[in-house]
Structure 1
Amino acid sequence: MPEPETGKPDAPAKPAHPHTATLKRLEQSSGSLAAQAIARMDETLPWYRAMPPENRSWIGLVAQAGIAAFTEWFRQPDAPQAISTDVFGTAPRELTRAITLRQTVEMVRTTIEVMESAIDEVAAPGDESVLREALLVYAREIAFATAQVYAQAAEARGAWDARLESLVVNAVLSGEADEGAVSRAAALGWNSPEHVCVVLGTAPDGDSELTVEAIRRAARHAKLQVLTGVLGDRLVVIAGGRNDPLAVAKSLIGPFAQGPVVAGPVVPDLLAATRSAQAAAAGLKACTAWQDAPRPVLADDLLPERAIASDPSARDQLVEEIYRPLEEAGAALLETLSVYLEQASSLEGAARMLFVHPNTVRYRLRRVTDVTGWSPSDVRSAFTLRIALILGRLADGDPQL
């Protein structure tokens, strides 16, 4: 009795692979080919022999995955495949840090050479040219996949490094720099230079990444280490490696936008960089009060403006570095300086008020310069000295004020 018809047509038979024998021999040889590739690397690549066993084992897995991916490629050459996932997906992401792109290229080249030398043994009679051509196409694709893997890793590291650098810069500006910030900076290549200063100014419009890269180029040219970032409208640079903050600022000033650029004082390390950053920030705020200020300008050159703008550290610095040393040097210096400034910087007028010879006034003013580092005969220095005297007397509660 005939079987009842189901109404469903028979499924079409799957076409056989045109090179079944070669495919089968390739599958059977994959293990030995991987072993030969590893042996060849051990013989010809010194960096491979010097690697830790764990990394060598991961490279072995990558080589095996590469040969397996080629086998699948040969089986279905027209099927869309993600070679980078098939080959490099077996290895951890950290391997791209342990092995350079050049070393990866050498590893891939060695594996391809081993496979190419075995074509005559693996290919079925008459399939040698087919297998060789397939290997050539696959080598091209694996080269593109290698570049893609390292490009993605570099992009990820760049994004992570930018976030890390931003954390360090923020910590320094906010006064929260600690050992954690130092560790993050070390991960970015900061090797703890002895001299550190902070430079602040206005960030230019446009892509902040381009600005940051311009700062890095300028730093490389000046042989400086930098940690930098754009925070709001400010461009912040933490620079290390030179004991002259003004020279540092001049070498990095190119990428800053128009407007004042202020360099904080030099400090010994990154942990102390907050002091430099705060001085630079206070100087940037007060710089508008000194219309003829040079560009760049030192934060210490803006001490009187900073003091008037209610910067307590500037007030303390003026008192401790100018008024107190003059006080300790004797009442004659303080009195002479005060009278000289009140007499519109006139030697003769000060001498008459003090009942001394003008040469005595001249000698005492030179002593003021020696003690404080500021010259009363210079207009800008005289202004700084006058503010320091006022603040010192306020600190002492002088009843004459």
Structure 2
Amino acid sequence: MVGSTGIAGYGRAVAETGVKEHEARAERLQNATGALATAATAAMEEKLPWFGKLSAQDRSWIGLVAQSGITAFVDWFRDPETHSSMPTRMFGSAPREFTRVISLHQTVDLVRTTIEMIENTIGDLLPEDDVPVVREAMQRYAREVAFAAATVYAQAAEMRGAWDARLEALVVDSVIRGEADESVRSRASALGWSGAGTTGSADVTVVVGRAPSAEAGSANVADAVRHAAREAGCDALCAMQGDRLVIVLGGTSKPVEIVQNLAGFFGPGPIVIGPVVPDLMSAVTSARAAVAGLRAAPAWPAAPRPVQADELLPERSLSGDGHARRQLASDVYGPLTMGDGVLLDTVSTYLDSGGSIEATARAMFIHPNTVRYRLKRVGEITGYSPANPRDSFTLRVALTLGRLLNPEPGSYVL
């Protein structure tokens, strides 16, 4: 903390010495600042390999900070009580991008090198009696500089984190609204998104669920989601949108398994996984299905958590999702109309007969084994088994929608 016990203690020590003697010592130290600044730059070039690799402008910024630190130390040495904030202010001479040029570890090396240089050089620049006093003051001052450097980097990290959170929310919102373009891809890349995770797969899926309680904190949840996704080998973009939490996963070929590990970050209620798409530019398809699935999920209380959006096709179609209606009609009803249409007639009669194979056989004047064979073919073609209650519901809705969209038998069109 600036103005801490160390600085206050040194102020009392100054007060106990002769004022004129201390002022004379401070004046001699002031006259040596030019030589100290030159020696500091030379020490950085000699002892810090990374310093010489920086651009001329960046080296100039760092040199300015070092010179500012030496000047600030002299002012503080002269009057510690009046200049107690000098350790923090010394970093104010560098632009904000300074924290992006060198890391905190490099800053510590820079401060250490400068202090060692001063301790080794003041013996040649000041009288022998001044050296112990200046060295003791430098040790006290160095501690405050270390705290100041940590503060500068902490503030920069907070600002960068807040900016990244806003940028991430903008990217997720663009995906949801179907405005993903090259600029969105570029912004996602700036957030560390590669789209392939560690699995090498470029598959992308969007997951939507209720937001966690306010006590959990949206920033903490987003960080935890990204960490958990990385542990699973995926990239993740996360954003709160009102009362829902949206996660865009990249590099996942098994989204259900991964989302099961992320389920604890969502609030109570359904979690819907959109279909897998090739890349971020196509993610609007997955997002649209996931959002529609979240809206329709209450109609299926027994739905698994998480549930895939395609498992909610009948509920989505009943809730007004035109994409789900067309998908059921094209993927389920359409294939059953091909050929002579016997599969469509068989499954329709089977559903109308309450799921009885014998009743279906009697109604169609065919053998029960023929019914079984045709129903098996229906399951192979559509992916829905008529004998399964949930699948039979999906088939009934698909047949109804197909007839509405294509009323003429044998005239199915997309």
Q: TM-score, normalised by structure 1?
A: 0.91
Q: Summarize the Cα distance change of 1:126–1:356 in structure 2 as closer, same or farther, 3 Å threshold.
A: same
The equivalent position to 2:22 in structure 1, one of 11, 19, 22, is 19
The equivalent position to 1:102 in structure 2, one of 97, 105, 121, is 105
1:283 aligns with 2:293: yes
Deviating more after overlay: 252-261 vs 361-370: 361-370
Q: Secondary structure at the match of 1:139?
A: helix
Aligned position for 2:352: 342
Aligned position for 2:265: 255
CA displacement at 1:41 relative to structure 2: 2.1
Aligned position for 1:166: 169
Equivalent pairs counted in the alignment come to 385
Q: Do the aligned residues in 2 keep the contact of 1:83 with 1:145 (CA within 8 Å)?
A: no
Aligned position for 2:75: 72
Letter in 2 for 1:338: S
Aligned position for 2:12: none
Q: Secondary structure at the match of 2:179?
A: coil
Aligned position for 1:266: 276
1:115 aligns with 2:118: yes
Q: Secondary structure at the match of 2:238?
A: strand
The equivalent position to 1:314 in structure 2, one of 317, 324, 340, is 324
Q: Do the aligned residues in 2 keep the contact of 1:245 with 1:298 (CA within 8 Å)?
A: no
Letter in 2 for 1:201: G
Aligned position for 2:252: 242
Aligned position for 1:296: 306
1:325 aligns with 2:335: yes
Letter in 1 for 2:117: V
1:351 aligns with 2:354: no
Q: Do the aligned residues in 1 keep the contact of 2:351 with 2:392 (CA within 8 Å)?
A: yes
Alpha-carbon distance in structure 2 between the residues aligned to 1:326 and 1:397: 14
Q: Do the aligned residues in 2 keep the contact of 1:245 with 1:265 (CA within 8 Å)?
A: no
Alpha-carbon distance in structure 2 between the residues aligned to 1:146 and 1:357: 86
Q: Secondary structure at the match of 2:246?
A: strand
Letter in 2 for 1:180: S
Deviating more after overlay: 201-210 vs 136-145: 201-210
Deviating more after overlay: 97-106 vs 348-357: 348-357
Q: TM-score, normalised by structure 2?
A: 0.88
CA displacement at 1:262 relative to structure 2: 0.9
CA displacement at 1:265 relative to structure 2: 0.9
Q: Which 5+ residue runs of structure 2 have no aligned equivalent?
A: 1-17, 197-201, 410-414
1:52 aligns with 2:60: no
Alpha-carbon distance in structure 1 between the residues aligned to 2:259 and 2:408: 40
Q: Summarize the Cα distance change of 1:124–1:21 in structure 2 as closer, same or farther, 3 Å threshold.
A: farther
Alpha-carbon distance in structure 2 between the residues aligned to 1:330 and 1:20: 107
Aligned position for 2:393: 383
CA displacement at 1:329 relative to structure 2: 5.0
CA displacement at 1:21 relative to structure 2: 4.1
Alpha-carbon distance in structure 2 between the residues aligned to 1:83 and 1:184: 38
Q: Which 5+ residue runs of structure 1 have no aligned equivalent?
A: 1-14
Aligned position for 1:195: 203
Q: Summarize the Cα distance change of 1:250–1:224 in structure 2 as closer, same or farther, 3 Å threshold.
A: same
Q: Do the aligned residues in 2 keep the contact of 1:17 with 1:75 (CA within 8 Å)?
A: no
The equivalent position to 1:139 in structure 2, one of 107, 130, 142, is 142
Q: Do the aligned residues in 1 keep the contact of 2:314 with 2:394 (CA within 8 Å)?
A: yes
Aligned position for 1:11: none
Alpha-carbon distance in structure 1 between the residues aligned to 2:403 and 2:166: 47
Alpha-carbon distance in structure 1 between the residues aligned to 2:375 and 2:85: 80
Q: Summarize the Cα distance change of 1:17–1:189 in structure 2 as closer, same or farther, 3 Å threshold.
A: farther
Aligned position for 1:176: 179
Alpha-carbon distance in structure 2 between the residues aligned to 1:342 and 1:246: 34
Aligned position for 2:378: 368
Task: State the identity as a percent.
Answer: 52
Q: Name the Cα RMSD after superposition.
A: 1.9
Letter in 1 for 2:233: K
The equivalent position to 1:186 in structure 2, one of 180, 186, 189, is 189
Q: Secondary structure at the match of 1:175?
A: coil
The equivalent position to 2:42 in structure 1, one of 39, 58, 61, is 39
CA displacement at 1:366 relative to structure 2: 1.9
Letter in 2 for 1:198: V
Q: Secondary structure at the match of 1:239?
A: strand
